Structure 1
Amino acid sequence: MTEAAERFFEALPSHAAEVLGGLADGTLQIDLGEDHRTEHWLVRMRPGSVQVSRGRGPADAIWYSSAALFDRLITGEAQGVAAVLRNESTFSGNVVLFLAFRRFFPSPPGTRDPRETARRAAGRLR
């Protein structure tokens, strides 16, 4: 497990209120593989809150990713849905949990919110 991934999981509860509205209610098990071993994380999501623990357990959904891909996801260099569609990672269970969890990942470096770009352009037109 990389230090960046450790920090990412530690920070999840502090971002839950801004990221999770009424989107998800359930447990997502995240399995990160590296060098013939797998680390397991349980992420219990409720509207506005997250609890994170290590280990396996009853889960409504399971997502498997390599540790290297997960590092790219937490830096915005890769996108979760695209990784699943390209079969770089696998997912089973309640898809709403995966879609909600991906909101914790940052946007790709250099991207801009189109709404902010439009606001700036409108301000210059006045």
Structure 2
Amino acid sequence: MSEAIERFFDSLPSRAPAVLRSTVAGTIQIDLATGDGTTHWLVRLQPGEAEVTRARGPADAIWHSSEDLFDRLVTGRAQAIAAMLRNESTFGGNVVLFLAFRRFFPSPPGARDPRDIVRAQAGRPR
């Protein structure tokens, strides 16, 4: 298990109040496959809260991914929806949980919010 993945899951409870502002609630089981096995994470999401355990269990959704892809997701080098569309990972169950969970992933390195660019340009004379 990469250190980036461990830090990502460790950070979820403290980051949840800023990320989970909607009424989404449910449990996602995340299965990360490596060459010699699968690591399981169970993430319970509630408005403003996230609880993380290394377990399998009853879940509203299951996400299967390679550990390598998930490492790229948690470091901003890959995008979750694009990975799903390319069949690099699979997701079954309540898709709203996936859409809420993906907000925990960072933006790609060097990415800027387009609104910030427009604001900066609006302040400059042409």
Superposition TM-score tier, normalisation by shorter sequence = over 0.9
Greater CA drift, 64-73 or 14-23: 14-23
Deviation of the 1:36 alpha carbon: 3.1
Corresponding residue for 1:85? 85
Structure 2: distance between partners of 1:78 and 1:35: 20
Distance 1:99 1:92 in 2: 12
- Quote the RMSD (CA, aligned, Å): 1.2
1:72 Cα deviation from its structure 2 partner = 0.4
Supply the distance in 2 between the matched residues of 1:23 and 1:75 (Cα, whole angstroms).
27
Which residue does the alignment assign to 2:50?
50
Q: Which residue of 2 aligns with 1:41?
A: 41
Post-superposition, which runs of at least 4 consecutive aligned residues in structure 1 deviate over 4 A?
Answer: none
| Distance in 1 (alpha carbons) for counterparts of 2:62 and 2:52 | 14
Deviates more, 1:17-26 or 1:92-101: 17-26
**TM norm structure 1:** 0.96
**Counterpart in the other structure of 1:117:** 117
Paired residues, number: 126
Q: How many angstroms apart in 1 are the aligned matches of 2:73 and 2:116?
A: 24
Question: So what's the TM-score if we normalise by structure 2?
Answer: 0.96
Counterpart Cα distance in 2 of 1:46 and 1:125: 46
Q: CA deviation at 1:23?
A: 4.6
CA distance in 2, matches of 1:30, 1:65: 8
Q: Give a deviation string over 1:98-126, Cα, whole Å, max 9, x none.
A: 11100000111111101111111111239
The 3-state SS of whatever aligns with 2:32 is: strand
Unaligned runs of 5+ in 2: none
Alpha-carbon separation, structure 2, partners of 1:118 and 1:27: 38
* Partner deviation per Cα, 1:49-80 (whole Å, 9 max, x = no partner): 10000010000000000000000001111011
- Which residue does the alignment assign to 2:64? 64
d(CA) in 1 for partners of 2:110, 2:22: 29
Give me the whole-angstrom Cα distance separating, in 2, the residues matched to 1:105 and 1:97. 14
